[in-house]
Amino acid sequence: MSPLSGESMKVFRAAWHHWTVPKDFFLLKENTVSDYLYFIEKGVARIFYHKNGKEITEWIALEEQFFFSITSFFKRRPSHLQIHTLEPSVVYGIHHDDFMDLADRYHDVERLLRKMVTGSLILSQIRMDSIQFEIAQQRYERLMQSSPKIIQRVPLTYIASFLGVTLETLSRIRANK
């Protein structure tokens, strides 16, 4: 994403924590501050929130993706989001304070942070545009193109919520394939 010099790479790598967690492990619970930016090496994590008594899936993170509650992480306020694993997972995390300290001390780490945040904002905009301007069939096809194995690993209820459709609509879309 952005190269780091030898010294900054060494301290940056050392700042990351490593966890092997079971299925249904909560990395972030509602109304707590998101202290970590995560990277999933193996497994699946879901970011969701509650609205009108329902769980709404905001993001599904698969292998080799970064994920976190961006607002809570940067504003240091409790999050309305929750993050939990859908499979046993291998996860890395860097604490907010460590990342900010390294960004202050190393220009290349600061550049990496900027690129990560920019990437997150772009993904959010793409997702918003998709919800606003694409029909359900197009959103499903885009997801299958970018993550073809997701259907085998993530419950359809969560996929439907992520796509902004009902489970029945998702079933109809899949039946037409």
Three-state secondary structure of 158-177: HHHHHHCCCHHHHHHHHHCC
CB 144 within 8 A of CB 30: no
The Cβ of residue 103 has, within 10 Å, a number of other Cβ atoms equal to 17
The Cβ of residue 167 has, within 10 Å, a number of other Cβ atoms equal to 14
Q: In what order do the strands lie in the sheet with 26-28?
A: 26-28, 82-85, 45-51, 54-61
pTM over 0.75: yes
CA distance 80 to 49: 6
Average model confidence (pLDDT) across the chain:
94
CA 137 vs CA 133, 148, 157, 160, 161: distances in Å: 12, 15, 16, 11, 14
pLDDT band for position 124 (cuts 50, 70, 90): confident
pLDDT tens readout for residues 100-120: 999 999 999 999 999 988 988
Least confident of 32-36, 101-105, 147-151: 147-151
Residue 121, classified by CB atoms within 10 Å of its CB into exposed (0-12), middle (13-18) or buried (19+), is: exposed
Task: Select the more confidently predicted residue: 131 or 42.
Answer: 42
pLDDT band for position 1 (cuts 50, 70, 90): confident
Q: What sign has the CA pseudo-torsion 121, 50, 46, 34?
A: positive
Res. 176: pLDDT tops 90: no
For the chain, domain boundaries:
9-105
3-state secondary structure at position 57: strand
- The CATH architecture that domain 9-105 belongs to is Sandwich (2.60)
Res. 91: pLDDT tops 80: yes
Tell me what the mean pLDDT of segment 149-175 comes to.
94
